[in-house]
Amino acid sequence: MRTMTALVAGLALVLTTALAGCSSKTGVAAAADAMGATNLNSIQFSGSGTNYAYGQAYTPDGPWPRFEVKNYVAAVDYQAPAMRLEMLRAQGEHPPKGGGAQPFAVDQRTIQDVNGKDAWSEGGAQPAPNRGAEIERRRAIWLTPHGVVKAAMASGVTGEGKAFTFKAEGSDVKVTLNDQNLVDKVEYLTTNSVVGDVPVELTYSDYAQFGNIQFPKHIVEKQDGYPTLDIMVSEVQPNAAVSLPVPANVASAPAPPATPNVTIEKVGDGLWSVNGAGTRSLAVEFADHVVMLEGPTSDARSKAANDLVRKTVPNKPITAVVNTHAHYDHAGGLREYVAEGITIITHESNKDFYEKAWARPRTVEDTAPTTNKPMFDTVADKKVLSDRTRTVELYFLNGHQHHSGQLIAYLPKERILMYGDAYNPPAGDEIRTPERGPEYAAQLVQKINELKLNPERIAPVHGKVVPYKNLLIAFNLEGAARGTK
């Protein structure tokens, strides 16, 4: 009997001790306790791994191209709120395939900052204001492992069980906790003008104790189902001294205009270079219509560009737009052409991708709503657009590693070559781009030679109209060029 009494007393003591160690808290409160979020005002964490260039796949609907991240450092001030993100990236695929500023000749460092209503980048002669990037970067603060907990608490969200939701910069964010009440998964929807709604998923795993907090040693982000970031965290500094004062030139920078600023420059008889939102199109006038070469960046840019072209070339409708390839920065303005009933000319391998992309849901934002069915005129190897006044030759860049469905446009009479990516002429009088490798430019020159084209000038989407020799000089390809047409 005495033995039984002692056993019962022992079990009671064990149960009492176990219950004392368990918390009745759930949802946000449980996560705050488990992660040590309540008294965390700032954090700096660093590591290395890989990242991937969203919207820059080699094939339509393919995975994003991969880069090696040699150093990844995030510094967050939750009170400001402010964040600084620095990455040192190296070429991740050999040979390079896809976009994302490939090919790299040297490692590339990017530094992006936000503090309240101001966003900027570092690395140039002075900080560069990034008006329009503030919302996305502020949201990134509240998507960090402790940021989601702090944002939910500040919003008055409590949650029950292992999940809760809150709003971050206008987006509904869903948070899932693991069995230890640590943040396991963060999900929300963003938007892209090419594909519409884009699901974003961040997973946090392999938690470890750093000071008074728990922090994941493995961070993975996916956008539209493909990874965009995979970082192994090696160092965490809770309540680090994070100071991100806003540079004077950033604070005084004007807000972006409601309508993109677009300018037009005559570069030949019936030819205009249309510059807006950091990208260029070429407007080509025929006897009774106009064809646009490229509809990049955004639908708002396309609308502004088309309106300006119509003022410049009145009484001649825009009947078609030529799309060089399906990277999102080059296809971002195509839906505006669909909305205006204008034919899309693209390589045949891109058509199915666009049809599926433009049929996707657009609940976050729809910049060019339309019920029009896209009209396509596809290119296999070559297509000629011609009338009594003008000829434009379209060629497929078969085997080019930037994109599997890439076109170039050549105007034989004017000897102008228009293309999407290979060489982006710098501003001013500089010709060389030492940060870029020669592979894509060399592939373009090889194709020009095979086709026996003889360009005198080039009209790149990313850069001003310049002599063709500039591309050759930039990559020491003078000896490789030979044109006879």
Domain boundaries, the chain: 27-251, 262-480
* Whether pLDDT at 20 is above 80: no
* Whether pLDDT at 483 is above 90: no
Q: Which residues pair with 74 in a beta bridge?
A: 45, 85
State how far the Cα of 301 lies from the Cα of 20, in Å rounded to an integer.
Answer: 62
* Token pair belonging to 390: 């003008």
Burial of 186 (0-12, 13-18, 19+ CB in 10 A): buried
**C-alpha pair distances (Å), 115 with each of 43, 81, 173, 253, 416:** 15, 6, 21, 14, 44
What is the mean pLDDT of the segment spanning 199-203?
A: 98
The fraction of the chain above a pLDDT of 90, given in percent, is 91
Q: Which helix (H) or strand (E) holds 12?
A: helix 2-21
First to last CA, the chain: 108
**C-alpha pair distances (Å), 272 with each of 263, 275, 465:** 10, 9, 10
- Please tell me the predicted confidence (pLDDT) of residue 481: 79
* Whether pLDDT at 23 is above 60: no
* Whether pLDDT at 173 is above 70: yes
What is the mean pLDDT of the segment spanning 312-319?
A: 97
Asked if residues 376 and 351 have their Cβ atoms less than 8 Å apart, the reply is yes
In CATH, the number for domain 262-480 is 3.60.15.10
* Whether pLDDT at 4 is above 60: no
Asked if residues 344 and 374 have their Cβ atoms less than 8 Å apart, the reply is yes
- Regarding beta strands 407-411 and 279-285, do their DSSP bridges make them parallel or antiparallel, or are they unpaired? unpaired
Asked if residues 391 and 384 have their Cβ atoms less than 8 Å apart, the reply is yes
What is the mean pLDDT of the segment spanning 139-162?
A: 95
Q: How confident is the model at residue 22 (pLDDT cuts 50, 70, 90)?
A: very low
* Token pair belonging to 117: 């209503």
pLDDT tens for 207-229 read 999 999 999 999 999 999 999 99
Nearest residue to 133 (alpha-carbon basis) of 119, 122, 116, 123 = 119
Return the CATH architecture of domain 27-251. Clam (2.50)
Give Cβ neighbours of residue 302 (< 8 Å, ≥ 6 apart).
Answer: 295, 333, 334, 336, 337, 368
Q: Mutual orientation of helices 145-154 and 27-35 as an angle, nearest 10°?
A: 140
What is the mean pLDDT of the segment spanning 107-116?
A: 98
Q: Give the pTM.
A: 0.92
- Regarding beta strands 343-347 and 376-379, do their DSSP bridges make them parallel or antiparallel, or are they unpaired? parallel
* Token pair belonging to 37: 């979020």
Asked if residues 109 and 88 have their Cβ atoms less than 8 Å apart, the reply is yes
Angle made by CA atoms 419, 420, 423, in degrees to the nearest 5 = 85
pLDDT tens for 410-425 read 999 999 999 999 999 9
Asked if residues 102 and 159 have their Cβ atoms less than 8 Å apart, the reply is no
- Please tell me the predicted confidence (pLDDT) of residue 484: 40
Query: Looking at 57-161, which runs of residues are DSSP E strands?
Result: 66-77, 82-91, 108-115, 118-122, 128-129
How much is the mean pLDDT over the chain? 94
Q: How confident is the model at residue 160 (pLDDT cuts 50, 70, 90)?
A: confident
pLDDT tens for 73-97 read 999 999 999 999 999 999 999 999 9
Nearest residue to 344 (alpha-carbon basis) of 418, 279, 292 = 292
